[in-house]
Amino acid sequence: MKITLSVIKADVGGYVGHSESHPAVLAKAEECLAKVKQSGLLIDYHVTKCGDDLNLIMTHQQGEESEKIHRLAWDTFVAGTEVAKSLKLYGAGQDLLSDAFSGNVKGMGPGVAEMEFEERKAEPVIVFMADKTSSGAWNMPLYKMFADPFNTIGLVIASNMHTGFAFEVHDVKEHKKIILNTPEEIYDLLVFIGAPSRYPLKAVYSRSAGEIAAVSSTQKLSLIAGRYVGKDDPVCIVRAQGVFPAVGEVLEPFSLPHLVEGWMRGSHHGPFMPVSIPDSIPSRFDGPPRVTAAGFQLADGKLVGPRDMFADISFDNARQQANDIADYMRRHGPFEPHRLPLEEMEYTTMPEVVKKLEGRFTELA
């Protein structure tokens, strides 16, 4: 049975500030999707949040980039925005960059990760959701899951994974993409994906099965809007087991709270902290950036779950380490590398300060 799993997300208003989603907004989204499930358009859905982002996890048979499904998500975000406005939540409708829906939410503000596949006899999927960071945050974890034998022992000792995976890399500045095969092209791959703000990973494929393994949202809101509108707060879907990494191999990269872009005013590096869904309430200096993981078994498109994968106490050390790194990074205050390089900051006063001080700059001797 061919199933499409669509995860579409948007920040339609924060409670309090940018720290969390309001239960009334989640309830409204639940109400919208329940109605549509009854009509048969959706097989199943799950509404959840990561910090101030509303995540719609949906299964259906309309394929990827379906106008009907994207319209449903859009209308749900608009309905959520109405609730957010009535409660005067912070930044109500922040990610709805256009007033009119034009057939596809891609490029409009919401983040989208979708994959269509033949559901296996047992189909474990993990939906990763992030807040206070951008889509390049998935680069290192995806590399580790699908190309690093120190993370994924299956690459070495499981014959159905030994041929490796193909990585689709996007260039967000040039609007180009390339597919690179691992293991033989890992050095070429790393030249690009080690610079995640420019080269986010869009998708990963199993080379032996020719199947989609992972897909992420790669929207760069700041580029879409041409002005600051918030970090993308991306999502990523990963299939697990069999020809794909085991669930534990998929989760293992997050035991390292690696440094990602985002955090306060989208202008800092901070540790990517794996947390349970209720703990996705980034409050300290609007962070540190969070990642949650909702695990499901699919049953003819039904979402059996979620299991809150990072609720496991085995991620406590990663959280402790993230807090220690947060302390250390914060002590740099307004200095790089805590503060992002000039061209990556979401906020800047540089042009106005330069203008004000224009006459005071003199030539170096």
> Where along the sequence are the contacts to Mg ion (CB under 5 A)?
11, 14, 18, 51-53, 91, 131, 233
308 catalytic residue (yes or no): no
Can you say whether residue 329 is alpha, beta or left, with left for phi > 0 and alpha for psi between -120 and 50 degrees?
alpha
Judged by CB under 6 A, the stretch of 43-51, 161-169, 262-270, 352-360 that binds ligand F6R is 262-270
Residue 111 binding target from Mg ion, ligand F6R, none, CB below 5 to 8 Å by type: none
Kindly identify the residues of this chain, within the stretch 62-101, that bind ligand F6R according to CB under 6 A: 91
Which is nearest to 190 in space by CA: 144, 231, 234? 144
Q: Which is nearer to Mg ion, 53 or 252 (CB)?
A: 53
Helices 67-86 and 23-39 sit at what angle, rounded to 10 degrees?
150
| Shortest distance (Å) from residue 227 CB to Mg ion | 15
Any contact of residue 265 with ligand F6R (CB under 6 A)? yes
Residue 264 binding target from Mg ion, ligand F6R, none, CB below 5 to 8 Å by type: ligand F6R
Q: Which is nearer to Mg ion, 239 or 269 (CB)?
A: 269
205 catalytic residue (yes or no): no
Which is nearest to 136 in space by CA: 258, 47, 25? 258
Q: Which of 144, 170, 231, 339 binds ligand F6R (CB under 6 A)?
A: 231
| Shortest distance (Å) from residue 289 CB to ligand F6R | 9
The angle at the Cα of 75, spanning 94 to 43, to the nearest 5 degrees, equals 125
Q: What is the C-alpha to C-alpha distance for residues 69 and 16, in angstroms, rounded to an integer?
A: 30
Can you say whether residue 241 is alpha, beta or left, with left for phi > 0 and alpha for psi between -120 and 50 degrees?
left
Burial group, residue 251, by CB count within 10 angstroms (0-12, 13-18, 19+): buried
Question: C-alpha distances in angstroms, 280 versus 53, 55, 277?
Answer: 10, 13, 5
Any contact of residue 286 with ligand F6R (CB under 6 A)? yes
Helices 139-147 and 186-193 sit at what angle, rounded to 10 degrees?
170
Q: Which is nearer to Mg ion, 52 or 114 (CB)?
A: 52
Catalytic-role residue among 53, 220, 231, 286: 231
Judged by CB under 6 A, the stretch of 167-175, 235-243, 263-271, 302-310 that binds ligand F6R is 263-271
Q: Which is nearer to Mg ion, 114 or 233 (CB)?
A: 233
Q: Which of 110, 136, 141, 230 binds ligand F6R (CB under 6 A)?
A: 230
Q: Kindly state the number of chain residues that form the binding site for ligand F6R, as judged by CB under 6 A.
A: 11
347 catalytic residue (yes or no): no
Which is nearest to 123 in space by CA: 47, 213, 26? 213
The kind and range of the H/E element at 7 are strand 2-10
Catalytic-role residue among 171, 228, 279, 308: 228
Instruction: Return the sign of the alpha-carbon dihedral for residues 22, 113, 101, 45.
Output: negative
Q: Which is nearer to Mg ion, 123 or 131 (CB)?
A: 131
| Shortest distance (Å) from residue 70 CB to ligand F6R | 24
What residues make contact with ligand F6R under the rule CB under 6 A? 17-18, 91, 132, 230-231, 262, 264-266, 286
Catalytic site residues?
11, 228, 231
